[in-house]
Amino acid sequence: MPRGRYSLHDPHDHTPLGEEHFHCAPGPSGWRYVAQTTTPSAGPTGNGPGTGHQEPTVTGSVDLTLDDLGRPLRLELHAASWQVRGAALDGVTWVRTDPTGTHATEGNVRAHAFTGTSPAFYIATTRLLRLTPASPPTRVRLVAFTDPVLAPRTVDQSWALIRSEAHATDNGPLTVDEYQVNALDTGEQHTVHIAGDVVLAAPGVELEDLETPPSVFP
């Protein structure tokens, strides 16, 4: 069961956005990812002896379960008192609740899956598409929930697996997949590196700590 920590930052100006402390694992139904997001780690506060480190504050959470085909069985997001619960149903369906808890809005889009700030969504998309280096670029429609208010937005992307390379590690060979992702509305292009169910590098994402090796999907 991989367990670790990602740092999140603005992919354009590199402003720190926070950290995501996660654990994930394949299971009988598919794959599950659970994480808490916090404010960026702070350095020492104050001056002189006796000063310590400011503890990061929990700002949200992610709980995503996929079935064995990579479809979202259950999604629950929390951020800034907003909450989203969703699943694959007639496309994808979700309920978004406001901070007061008095109003809820339901949405449904003929899309394949969800996406958002969490690195979990990169893994989820690759599990859904099951690309090989021989696969042509594949189009996918996703509903994105963006922090801090988890507002839904439909996005179209094109994914291609550029290469898979095995790297020697103390725990045996580790296969790293390099994906090219195109945003079809803006033409913006970026690269994502993934090993098993761990994102090694992506725009706005850095893997800072990993206690156990990535899971290997069958």
**Closest C-alpha to 56, from 17, 92, 99, 28:** 17
> What distances in angstroms separate CA 205 from CA 35, 55, 148, one per listed residue?
14, 21, 17
Q: Please indicate, yes or no, if residue 161 is contained in any of the structural domains.
A: yes
Q: Please indicate, yes or no, if residue 126 is contained in any of the structural domains.
A: yes
Q: Please indicate, yes or no, if residue 100 is contained in any of the structural domains.
A: yes
Q: Please indicate, yes or no, if residue 127 is contained in any of the structural domains.
A: yes
Q: Please indicate, yes or no, if residue 73 is contained in any of the structural domains.
A: yes
Q: Please indicate, yes or no, if residue 45 is contained in any of the structural domains.
A: no
**Residue whose pair of structure tokens reads 């800072």 in the numeric block:** 208
Q: Please indicate, yes or no, if residue 46 is contained in any of the structural domains.
A: no
**Per-residue model confidence (pLDDT) at position 190:** 95
Q: Are 60 and 20 in contact (CB under 8 A)?
A: no
Number of domains in the chain: 1
Q: Please indicate, yes or no, if residue 171 is contained in any of the structural domains.
A: yes
Q: Provide the domain limits for residue 103.
A: 3-40+56-211
Q: What percent of the chain has pLDDT over 70?
A: 94
Kindly report, residue by residue over 34-78, the tens digit of the pLDDT.
999 999 875 443 444 444 556 789 999 999 999 999 999 999 999
Q: Which two tokens stand for residue 133?
A: 């280096």
Give residue 80's pLDDT band: very low, low, confident or very high (50, 70, 90): confident
Distance CA(183)–CA(156), nearest Å, equals 6
Phi and psi for 63 in degrees, rounded to 5? -140, 110
Report the chain's C-alpha Rg in angstroms.
18
